[in-house]
Amino acid sequence: ALDPVQTIPTLDDDGFLLADSHAIIIYLARRYGNGTELYSEDFVQQAKIHSALFFESSILFARLRFCTDNLIVFRKGAIPEENLQRAADGLRLFEAMLQSDYVVGDRLTIADLSCVSSVSTLHRLLPVTAADYPKTFAWVERLAQLPYYEEVNVRGLKAAGEMIKMLTARNDAEPSKV
């Protein structure tokens, strides 16, 4: 395995191995993103971007994982209501955090690119509407207009949705002995 912890994603950049999507996105932005605004040169803006990335990792993705682990690891047919509630609380925090058109300031950054995958997956798991989270839904719509959004997010989102359906059906048919 490329990563001794066996996590995905893992980046192999000409022999330099790096795990964790947040470390990878910072590395790629700093190494190859010269001339873009995705990762600001300003120290304070960088700190805000890092804060948003850590929020995504520790709140949004962690709460998403509380839900999906029930299907993948524990082979449960349904996600416990308390886990769904925690995930919804994470979305409420994200809604409150959005103070402009983008996660950090008035332009697209790597924080947006990182957060959108967890947020859009949570939208698939939870019964949420634009009325519940107007800023979040408008933000997702804004990102959906990016020319690469379909390729980098929607394809994986559809695959995740299919996997969740398949695991739920499998787990209902073959309950876990754990």
Where do the structural domains in the chain lie, given as residue ranges?
Answer: 1-35, 40-173
Whole-angstrom Cα distance, residue 148 to residue 153? 8
pLDDT at 178: 56
CATH dotted code for 40-173: 1.20.1050.10
125 pLDDT higher than 60: yes
> What's the pTM value of the predicted model, to 2 decimals?
0.86
Q: Give the model's confidence band at 177: pLDDT under 50 very low, under 70 low, under 90 confident, else very high.
A: low
Mean predicted lDDT score pLDDT of the chain:
89
Which residues lie below 8 Å from residue 155, measured CB to CB, with a gap of 6+? Answer: none
Q: Give the model's confidence band at 166: pLDDT under 50 very low, under 70 low, under 90 confident, else very high.
A: confident
